[in-house]
Amino acid sequence: MDEQTPAEIIELRVSRRYIMAHPWVVQAIGGFLSAYFMEHPEFRVQRHREEPESGAHLWMCEVPSTMKVLRLLKRLKEDIPPCQAQQIATDLPAVSSYLIDSIE
């Protein structure tokens, strides 16, 4: 990451309900984020994990403060089945968290 561009951490969470409805979506999102890094080298995935208690998958990403996360989510939604993506509150005030879930 460029030292002149401050970075922020975002959390991209995918609900268990959405994954159960579309099991291949975890691989699709991982592939999308890898491809996004190729387009925007300042974007980084720090880690990916499954939360055993909730069944959700979580990607922690480092993004420059100038990057528009909503644009990233809009592009991602074009590659996966219909879903809703919304910002959610977290326990970590320095982290912006977004949830991808089934449309109700």
Domain ranges within the chain, ordered by starting residue: 7-101
Cα(22)–Cα(75) distance, integer angstroms: 18
Domain 7-101 CATH (choose: 3.30.70, 3.40.190, 1.20.120, 3.90.1010): 3.30.70
- Helix/strand/coil percent split, the chain, to 5: 30, 35, 35
Q: For residues 75-91, give the mean pLDDT.
A: 92
Pick the residue with more confidence: 48 or 89? 48
Say how many C-beta atoms besides its own lie within 10 A of residue 9's C-beta: 15
**Which pTM was predicted?**
0.87
The pLDDT value given to residue 90 = 77
Cα(92)–Cα(70) distance, integer angstroms: 20
Q: Which two tokens stand for residue 57?
A: 């998958």
Q: Chain-centre distance of CA 6, in angstroms? A: 19
The type of residue at 15 is: S
